[in-house]
Structure 1
């Protein structure tokens, strides 16, 4: 393993050649806690089609020796599905004013190197450059703190997100089903985090 990873930024149609790599990475990383996702490559590839169809989407990729080891994604919320837009409508936030961050996934050996900050920096800068968004947002799965499946020593990303100015929005959530390892298909609650884009530096 080498520390000489590079960060690449791809916008709109430029993301198409990378869809399979990001789909595979999502399957690998989301298998771990807290998602415990029994991954389905075909489903992931279909999910990413929304990004491929959006002229203003963005992929930020960490690449090491030709392998995609980390990825973060974003697109205008208006280009995402109704399920993601509805909680904003219910909260009187115009989806047209929100740039949505799909995920940040990074292989374990590459964590703790500042890549997570780079992912947010590039996506926020991309959203700001588009010139019409008031908010950046993402959602994260809710898990019971007493869940016995939580690994010893696990640290959530809540503190990291908070330091970047994102605030969890209790009650602003959506339901999403996926196949959980050992349990089959289960509905999960995901809660949104928001930050005013004009406050990003």
Structure 2
């Protein structure tokens, strides 16, 4: 089998940035993100992770092609949109490792790659002596016009990995949906796992 999972820290993943940008744009076009991708934004976004001490890029590579990726870094290096809900709730961002995303081409799902993405990032968080891992997910209404009839949220997968939803921790990110002519704010809420429990 030619499929392999590789982890990189910081700028070591830079040679894959064009592949990662294309992958993010491709996967995030689907519901629930509906992201109208921008390669220039993607390069800047990925460079932020590359500069962060303690960051990790986990790549799934099949026959030399990047078919999946996930990122993470200490929350202290993240944007205010990520940190502010935690600070407002009396939680110290310095205790958290933040997962940027997991993206995987549809034809490779169900093979355990998503589990590997979580495990690699959790290992990185433990090596940094952080207590919690967290990520946020976009919230879309059940009657959203682009919601596929067979759409299955990932809540069950996240719960099985030990993550619990914290709807009181909320933020907004801004991007342009496929049906929009300009960027608009989108609501997201956080999931957390205590990896020392």
TM-score of the superposition, structure 2-length normalised? 0.96
CA distance in 2, matches of 1:55, 1:17: 18
Match of 1:109 in 2: 107
Deviation at 1:34, TM superposition (A): 0.3
The CA distance in 1 between the partners of 2:67 and 2:46, in whole Å, is: 17
SS in 1 for 2:87: helix
Contact persistence 1:165–1:195 (CA under 8 A):
yes
The answer for the alignment partner of 1:68 in structure 2 is 66
Unmatched 5+ stretches in structure 2: none
For the pair 1:137 / 2:134, whether they are aligned, the reply is yes
- Higher mean alpha-carbon deviation, 11-20 vs 118-127, is at 11-20
4+ residue segments displaced more than 2 Å:
none
Deviation of the 1:183 alpha carbon = 1.7
Partner of 1:171: 168
Among candidates 84, 87, 91, match of residue 86 of structure 1:
84
| Counterpart pick for 2:120 among 119, 122, 125 | 122
Which residue number corresponds to residue 57 of structure 2?
Answer: 59
User: What is the distance in 2 between the residues matched to 1:21 and 1:120?
Assistant: 20
Task: Determine helix, strand or coil for the equivalent of 1:48.
Answer: helix
**Does the Cα contact within 8 Å between 1:13 and 1:55 map onto a contact in 2?**
no
1:13 Cα offset (Å): 2.8
- 1:40 corresponds to 2:31: no
Residue 151 (structure 1) aligned to one of 119, 133, 148? 148
The two structures have a TM-score, normalised by structure 1, of 0.94
Shift of the alpha carbon at 1:90? 0.8
Cross-structure match for 2:95: 97
2:159 matched to which residue of 1? 162
Residue 23 of structure 1 and its aligned partner are, at CA, apart by: 1.4
Whole-angstrom distance in 2 between the partners of 1:55 and 1:24: 24
Count of aligned pairs: 196
Q: Helix, strand or coil: the match of 1:195?
A: strand
Name the SS of the counterpart of 2:126 in structure 1. helix
Asked if structure 1 preserves the Cα contact closer than 8 Å seen for 2:125 and 2:131, the reply is no
CA distance in structure 1 between the aligned counterparts of 2:196 and 2:112, rounded to whole angstroms: 23
Q: In the aligned structure 1, how far is the partner of 2:54 from the partner of 2:166?
A: 26
> What displacement does 1:49 show?
1.7
Query: Structure 2 residue aligned with 1:181, among 162, 171, 178?
Result: 178
For the residues of structure 2 that align with 1:4 and 1:137, how far apart are their CA atoms?
Answer: 31
Is the counterpart of residue 195 in structure 1 residue 175 in structure 2?
no
Secondary structure, aligned partner of 2:196? helix
